[in-house]
Every structure is written in structure tokens, then in C-alpha cells.
Structure 1
Amino acid sequence: MITPLDFLTDLTNPNLTFLVRALAAVVLASLVTGVVGCHVVLRGMVFIGDAVAHSVFPGLAVAFVLGGSLVFGGLVAGIITAVLVAVFSQNRKLKEDSVIGIFFAGSFALGITIVSLAPGYSGSVQDFLFGSIVGISGADVAQAAGFAAVILLVLGLFHKELVAVSLDRESARACGLPVLALDVLLYVTVTVSVVISLQTLGNVLVLALLVIPASAARLLCSTLPRMMAFAPMFGVVCSVVGLYLSWAFNLPTGGVIVLTMIAGFLLCWVSLSLKHMRER
């Protein structure tokens, strides 16, 4: 068995540089999705993460056919879907989850259709479905770092406005806040955070990065600032432990990271339950 010390040694091995890149990628993804996930959980829009993760398929397929960047293709498709969801959700007769479901199904169906017309695409699809730590390049990490910095900067600049819309849309609109623009902004940040997590975790499991750390933070934290500090730390710790366990036991990285997060969430729930029992 590979011990934690062996794992640290492997990280310094020049023949295993992909492991360092994988570690950097999961840390970056955890930091960004931890913060974005707090907005997602606060707003009750968990389904958008799953929808965005699947809506990137048309972009992936088109990028593959044209010989372009899969990440860029997925990003474009995801942003288009996110903007459409934000625009159509402004109609009060349609609930946000209904609009998300419509565009999720449509984009996923389009992606499947394009995939069926693109021979040789299955291998690339598998990497984006389940993640591939071996396939992460230095350019991928640098790109993810750039996106992460922009997302965190944007969320910091528009923090109050986004929270206001999440808590009470009508009051925010009455105060003159641009609700549609803020919706688009939030959906786009969710999209970008999902896309930069795809290669490490895969889009089948990437929703866990958005939901589990933020949900654990909501259990233990009484204020939003504390949630936004706790969730990224929770995600980073679980991701690093999950990466180590997957490396030590030769298991799928994405699956092990998600299971580690679920274990961490259960520990948070148990600790909170025990606290309530003692208070009684």
C-alpha cells in the first residue's frame, strides 16, 4: 500500500509530473466550486450544475470535429445554455427548474446526436464523463488557474448583488438591481467552474463539487461568509485525500473524491446532530 509519505514522494518524482498537475487541478476546482456552490445551494438551483455539466456535450462534439479545444468548445456551449436559461427564467409563468430541464434535455440530445456522427469520439467523451488525471497538461492547469482567478474576482465584486437576488428576487428588482444580468453572471460562473472541473472529475460527478462542500458548510456555518470560507477548504481537503486514496489503491479518481466528500459531509452531519443532542 502507498502511504501518505510515499504519496508525497511521488509528487516530487519527475516521472510522475501528471500527478502534480492533477493535484493542482483538483485544488483549483475545489476552491472555485466551493465558493460558487454556496450561491448554488443558497439559491436552491442545484439542478443547474447538472444541466450545465451535460449541456457542454454539443460544444465538445463540435470542437472535436473541427479539431479545436474541447474545453473551449464545452465552455461556449455551456455559456450559451446558461444565458438561455437565465433569459427564459425571467418569465414568471415558468419556474427556473422547468426551464433548466428543457434546455438540459435539448442540449444533451444535441450532443448525443453530434457524437453519433463523429467517428472516434468515444474516447474523448469517456475522459470528460469520468475524468482523466493522466490527460491533464500544464496548459490545462494554467488555463484553469486563469479562469479560477477571474471567477473569484467577479464573485467578489458582485457578492452583495448576487446574494440580494438569491434571497429575494422581487425586492432586488424593486431596488433597481439588474436581475437578468445578475442571473446571467451567476449562471456563467457556474458554467465556467463546471468546465474547469471536467477533466479531473468528469461531468458525471462534477455536480458533487458544487453541492457537497456548500451543503456541509451550510450545516456547520451560521453566516454566508463563513460558508464561503469553509466550503472551499472542505472541498480541497476532501479532494486531496481522495486523490491520495485513488492513487494508493488504483481506483477512479473522480469517484473516490466524491465518496470522500460524502464521508466528510456525513461527519459534519453527525457532529451537528451530536451537538444538538448535548444541548438538549
Structure 2
Amino acid sequence: MDPFAHGFVQRAALGGALVAVLCGVVGTWVVVRGMAFLGEALAHGMLPGVALATVLGAPVLVGGALGAAVMSVGITALQRRGRLSYDTSIGLLFVAMLALGVIVVSHSGSFATDATTILFGDVLAIDETDLVLLAVATAVGIAAATAFHRPLVALAIDPRIAAVLDLGPRSARAVLVALVTLAVVASYQAVGSLLVVGLLLAPAVAAGPWTDRIPTRMVLAAVIGVASVVVGLLVSWHAATAAGASIAATAIAAAALSHAAHAALPTRRRASTPVPERSPCTTD
């Protein structure tokens, strides 16, 4: 545990923990709704905004947020007006935004350094300002998920049920996309745009076999995510590996171990006492 005696490692652990809590809440809905491709697309969709912010010297989180917002609005517009399927719309904008981001970065004078930071993050460079922003993002995400819990549950079951119950399926869908965008942008500093989906999905997948309740799954996913951050930082320090990649790999390993452990458990049989059948020849 010697690495945690250093201030920059402590800030990395705290920032990563905040990201893990937010991803645990949002990632649960992503897994339940089957929106993993959307999370991947938004992670790459913020690349042009991050690249422009890096070139112009602006805050990268602001640029990433703008890029992800443009991506989400573009997906909605193509789906509604272009009459394209959801995955087709995502696929087109996915490649377009990724290509635009690479073009912007390659045009700058420091391509290698900027590209490495953008793609894989730099969790060890988190400072006090980043911690404040991450704390605000996590609080906003938890508050929004709590306020829209019922509409999101109805949307996950069936959008028609949500409409019949007047729970606003369109509003719930917009909130869900906004939550995914928030989680992706907040996770950028920790694991970068390529690995953000691992931290968004893996803890929620790891929590899945152990509970059927969404709130419990969110809490368990957050705990697994925080543990993945701590273990990933320790592995990175002692093995001299990339911190963001170590965190993402640890989260994926936790998901694999969780499912393996659950599969190894003996099958639970219902404890019930059989009712003896009465013989037709028996008389009282």
C-alpha cells in the first residue's frame, strides 16, 4: 500500500472512486437496457471536442462534453428524420466523429502525446479542480438517476408500458442518454476514450449475477468499481503498467471472476415438503 502515501496517487484513487460510483449507477442502466454500443459511440464521439480543446488550450472536459452532446443529438436526429435504425445511426456517427477527432489531433504539433492521453487517459494527473468537477458530476448523476428511477424502470420493461402509465418514455430515454454522456465524459480523465466503456460496463456486469434488484445492483457495481480502481492503481505501480489500462483490465477481470464464482456455486433447490398422495384404496 506504499503508493498511497503519495499525494498524486491519493488524488487518482479518489477521482477514480468518484468515477466508479457514477459508472456503477449509470452502467447498471446501460447493461439492463442493452446500450453498450451507445456508450462506446459516445466515448469516441467526444474525441473531436477533446482534440479541439487540447489544441486550443481549453478545458478538455468541456470539449469532451460538447463532443459527446453533439454525438447524442446527431444520433437522435438521424434516427428520427433520416429514418435510420438505432445501430445504423450510431455506427455512422461513430466513424465520422472518430475520424474527425483523429484529423484534428494529427494536424496538431504534438500528435503522439495528445493521442496517448486522449485514448488512454491520465488518472495520475488528476488535480484538486478535477476532483471538484468529478464530485459534482457524480452528485448530479446520482440525483438524476434517483429522480427518474420509476420512468427508467418502466422504460427498461417496455416503453409502451411507460407511455400507458404516463411516465414519459421520451423524457426517460433522453435522461438516460444524458446520464451515459455524463459518465463517459467524467471517466475520460481516468481511463481515456478507448477504455471508458470497460469501467462503465464491467462492474455492472460483475454485480449482475448476485442480485435482481436495480438499486442493489448499482451499489454493488459501485463497490466493485471502486475496488477495481484501487487494485488497478496498485498493479500499475508495482508492475510499471499504464494506470488507466490496469484499472480497466481489473474491472473486466472482476466481471469474469464474478460470473465464474456464481457458476461454481451449487444449484439451490427449493426447500419444500412434498404433500403425500392419498391412496384411492385408503379409507378414513
Matched, 1:198 2:188: yes
Q: Identity, % of aligned pairs? A: 33
Matched, 1:49 2:46: no
> How far apart are the structure 2 equivalents of 1:176 and 1:134?
46
Deviations 1:172-231 (A, max 9, x none): 233333333322221121111111111211111110111111111112212212211111
> How far apart are the structure 2 equivalents of 1:205 and 1:73?
18
> How far apart are the structure 2 equivalents of 1:96 and 1:184?
14
Structure 2 counterpart of 1:170: 160
For the 8 Å contact 2:50–2:118, the answer to whether it is kept is no
> How far apart are the structure 1 equivalents of 2:50 and 2:236?
27
For the 8 Å contact 1:86–1:187, the answer to whether it is kept is no
> How far apart are the structure 2 equivalents of 1:42 and 1:89?
22
Structure 2 counterpart of 1:32: 22
Q: 2:206 aligns with which of 216, 221, 242?
A: 216
AA at the equivalent of 2:33: R
Which structure has the greater CA radius of gyration?
A: 2
Alignment gaps of 5+ in structure 2: 271-284
* CA pair 242-127 structure 1, distance change in 2 beyond 3 A: same
Structure 1 counterpart of 2:123: 133
AA at the equivalent of 1:111: G
AA at the equivalent of 2:241: L
Matched, 1:98 2:88: yes
TM-score under structure 2 length normalisation = 0.88
Q: SS where residue 222 of structure 1 aligns?
A: coil
Structure 1 counterpart of 2:281: none
Structure 1 counterpart of 2:75: 85
Deviations 1:37-87 (A, max 9, x none): 000000001111111111111101222233211110011110121233244
For the 8 Å contact 1:26–1:236, the answer to whether it is kept is yes
Matched, 1:252 2:245: no
For the 8 Å contact 1:238–1:264, the answer to whether it is kept is yes
> How far apart are the structure 1 equivalents of 2:126 and 2:240?
18
> How far apart are the structure 1 equivalents of 2:175 and 2:53?
24
Structure 2 counterpart of 1:234: 224
What is the CA-CA distance between 1:121 and the residue it aligns to? 4.3
AA at the equivalent of 2:233: L
> How far apart are the structure 2 equivalents of 1:25 and 1:34?
14
Deviations 1:151-181 (A, max 9, x none): 1111111111112112211222333333333
Alignment gaps of 5+ in structure 1: none
Q: SS where residue 74 of structure 2 aligns?
A: helix
Return structure 1 stretches of 4+ with deviation > 6 angstroms. Answer: none
Matched, 1:155 2:140: no
For the 8 Å contact 1:52–1:194, the answer to whether it is kept is yes
TM-score under structure 1 length normalisation = 0.89
What is the CA-CA distance between 1:115 and the residue it aligns to? 2.1
AA at the equivalent of 2:100: L
Q: SS where residue 29 of structure 2 aligns?
A: helix
AA at the equivalent of 1:57: L
For the 8 Å contact 1:86–1:184, the answer to whether it is kept is no
Q: Which moved more, 1:257-266 or 1:183-192?
A: 257-266
Structure 2 counterpart of 1:187: 177
> How far apart are the structure 1 equivalents of 2:81 and 2:214?
28
For the 8 Å contact 1:40–1:211, the answer to whether it is kept is yes
Q: Which moved more, 1:110-119 or 1:232-241?
A: 110-119
What is the CA-CA distance between 1:252 and the residue it aligns to? 1.0
Number of equivalenced pairs:
270
Matched, 1:76 2:66: yes
Q: SS where residue 134 of structure 1 aligns?
A: helix
Q: SS where residue 124 of structure 2 aligns?
A: coil
* CA pair 126-190 structure 1, distance change in 2 beyond 3 A: same
> How far apart are the structure 1 equivalents of 2:246 and 2:53?
29
AA at the equivalent of 1:108: L
AA at the equivalent of 1:20: Q
